[in-house]
Chains A and B, each alone.
Chain A
């Protein structure tokens, strides 16, 4: 039996960012959103561990009210309970980590906290470690593969310079990569069932976190203006290739990069 806490983020679809053409500010309300890609794999991995060892999967999301959309998806995939902590203010990862840590203490015990290695939009990749730090738990980051045996979790981390196989006693925090699994696609009957399941809401006061203070203020978020030269040469007609390649080589020489 394993009791697993999974975190999911209601993330921006970065491919479809709505950008104000004048100020280049990002219009968050108009940008479509979805469950984070790695978060979904964390949930899938939790469900697989539950199917193998028995247990329970609890999902926590900190985000705006509309995030209940992805919690329906979470139920359709097979989670046992889903919690939303509605917030509209900007929260830094430290605040989110504190919410997870408090939730863990109040609603636990859990054997495992599973999260995506990084969120799809801000991609900082530090939430898992900050939670582990607050709760004084071991962490295995960016896992490609997880095995649970004898009250220990073993996982392979893909880090900068290679692969690291770690082993940690439970409870532990594990964050996963995109490569760990292919998430299931819920069937129609699961989607219908999910609509009858209750999304639990908790406030920051419920978690005794009324005085949560951010350590970082995001003061300005602006889309980059691409400053590349964008000199485009057409070589779709094969007879042009020779000439176009010569031109390219000349440009690169002028740039001093050849």
Chain B
């Protein structure tokens, strides 16, 4: 029996291995890694000593960019050979599709967005947020096999050095796959820090009156060495930004999130739950965002942000 780990970013394997260890302690078996795509395979040295017994690699050219049907075929081919009972992946849109396809093939249970994992009386239990992050559900796996998609940041990365994994290179026939990727345009990150990797995020909502006012967010973010982001209406309806924070956009896990001019609808707050400290700035003292805030300022963002920028500058310049 084995437990397979697949991540769509090489850095996330070391978090997933700690989820894998919970399963291994309860059910035994080996933990394998599977790495897909040339770029990722090039970086496997970074995950060679985190406790994986084997790393299976696929580095065909066609696998460099994501294609759910092709990736599912690729993983499928290894399941039987290695007697895989559990598959662990990081929770992302891509992996939701991939795991959906695989779970049908494996006839397995599937839980996404897992934030806690434990085994009680030989039963596997997973917890995940539901209803736009307003509630959490405990789910008991009632099948022999399961795929679990783990939210990033839930498990601490493995830092201990373990014995080196054996590398097994594999090939796949990509010609039979019906879904064709015509074009991939990667997200453009304006300057520096990525939203999902930032330590500080400054968020703006419909309290901002025009696109030019985004510079308030950008300036505050830049002083704090962080990234800026917006709510869905600013991105999807007004086109002021390429992406947004929330359940249908990006999830963030910064040390500090500053929400300005954001009402705090559940679809937005579901994506900010991982923030250590949340600050809200809103004119309306009744805005739901204050229930999600550690520190709130009731007031006009157009007066408060400039003041905050000014004072942080003073501090910085000593």
Q: Using a CB–CB distance below 8 Å, which chain A residues touch chain B?
A: 12, 14-15, 17, 26, 92-94, 97, 117-118, 121-134, 138-142, 154, 159-169, 177-179, 213-224, 226, 228-236, 238, 240-242, 244-246, 248-249, 251-252, 255, 257-258
Are B96's CB and A126's CB within 8 A?
A: yes
Q: Which residue of B lies closest to A152 (CB)?
A: B180
Residues of B near A221 (CB, < 8 A) are 130, 135-138
Please report the C-alpha to C-alpha distance between residue A179 and residue B253 in the assembled complex, in whole angstroms.
25
Interface membership of B99, Cβ < 8 A: yes
Are A248's CB and B308's CB within 8 A?
A: yes
From B99, B232, B277, A257 is in contact (CB under 8 Å) with B277
Interface membership of B222, Cβ < 8 A: no
Residues of A near B131 (CB, < 8 A) are 12, 14, 17, 26, 121-122
Are A217's CB and B142's CB within 8 A?
A: yes
By size class, the interface of chain B is 35 or more
- Using known A-B contacts A121-B130, A218-B137, determine if residue A249 contacts B72 with beta carbons closer than 8 Å: no
What are 8 A-B contacts defined by CB distance under 8 Å?
A138-B178, A163-B184, A221-B138, A231-B295, A232-B295, A233-B298, A241-B303, A248-B308
Contact with A along B118-148 (1 / 0, CB 8 A): 0000000100011111111111111100100
Are B256's CB and A139's CB within 8 A?
A: no
Are A232's CB and B101's CB within 8 A?
A: no
From B92, B103, B132, A133 is in contact (CB under 8 Å) with B103
Total CB contacts across the A-B interface at under 8 A: 260
Of B31-39, B43-51, B108-116, B211-219, the one with at least 4 CB within 8 A of chain A: B108-116
Q: Using a CB–CB distance below 8 Å, which chain B residues touch chain A?
A: 8, 65-69, 72, 92-94, 96-105, 108-113, 125, 129-143, 146, 178-187, 200, 224, 232, 236, 247-248, 255-256, 265-267, 276-279, 283, 285, 290-300, 303-304, 307-308, 311-312, 315
- Using known A-B contacts A127-B100, A129-B101, A160-B92, determine if residue A166 contacts B278 with beta carbons closer than 8 Å: no
Are B104's CB and A97's CB within 8 A?
A: yes
Please report the C-alpha to C-alpha distance between residue A228 and residue B136 in the assembled complex, in whole angstroms.
17
Are B187's CB and A224's CB within 8 A?
A: no
Residues of B near A218 (CB, < 8 A) are 137-139
B-side interface mostly: mixed
Are B100's CB and A142's CB within 8 A?
A: no
In the complex, given contacts A123-B247, A134-B104, A229-B294, what are 15 additional A-B residue pairs having Cβ atoms less than 8 angstroms apart?
A: A124-B112, A127-B100, A128-B97, A133-B72, A140-B179, A141-B96, A159-B66, A161-B187, A168-B178, A213-B142, A221-B130, A229-B295, A232-B297, A244-B297, A255-B256
Are A230's CB and B293's CB within 8 A?
A: yes
From B291, B298, B300, A230 is in contact (CB under 8 Å) with B291
Are B8's CB and A222's CB within 8 A?
A: no
Are A162's CB and B101's CB within 8 A?
A: no
Are A168's CB and B296's CB within 8 A?
A: no
Are B135's CB and A248's CB within 8 A?
A: no
Residues of A near B315 (CB, < 8 A) are 249
Are A235's CB and B299's CB within 8 A?
A: yes
In angstroms, how far is the closest chain B Cβ from the Cβ of A24? 8
In angstroms, how far is the closest chain A Cβ from the Cβ of B156? 18
Residues of B near A245 (CB, < 8 A) are 297, 304, 307-308, 311
In angstroms, how far is the closest chain A Cβ from the Cβ of B215? 19
Identify the interface centre among B179, B256, B266: most chain A CB within 10 Å of its CB. Answer: B179
In angstroms, how far is the closest chain A Cβ from the Cβ of B196? 9
Are A219's CB and B276's CB within 8 A?
A: no
Q: Which residue of A lies closest to B257 (CB)?
A: A257
Residues of A near B290 (CB, < 8 A) are 230, 232
Residues of B near A216 (CB, < 8 A) are 109-111, 139-143
Q: Which residue of A lies closest to B102 (CB)?
A: A133
- Using known A-B contacts A130-B100, A224-B135, determine if residue A219 contacts B140 with beta carbons closer than 8 Å: yes
Are B96's CB and A129's CB within 8 A?
A: yes
Please report the C-alpha to C-alpha distance between residue A220 and residue B138 in the assembled complex, in whole angstroms.
5
Are B293's CB and A130's CB within 8 A?
A: no
Please report the C-alpha to C-alpha distance between residue A130 and residue B112 in the assembled complex, in whole angstroms.
13
Residues of B near A222 (CB, < 8 A) are 135-136
Please report the C-alpha to C-alpha distance between residue A149 and residue B251 in the assembled complex, in whole angstroms.
35
From B129, B179, B187, B292, A168 is in contact (CB under 8 Å) with B179
Please report the C-alpha to C-alpha distance between residue A130 and residue B104 in the assembled complex, in whole angstroms.
6
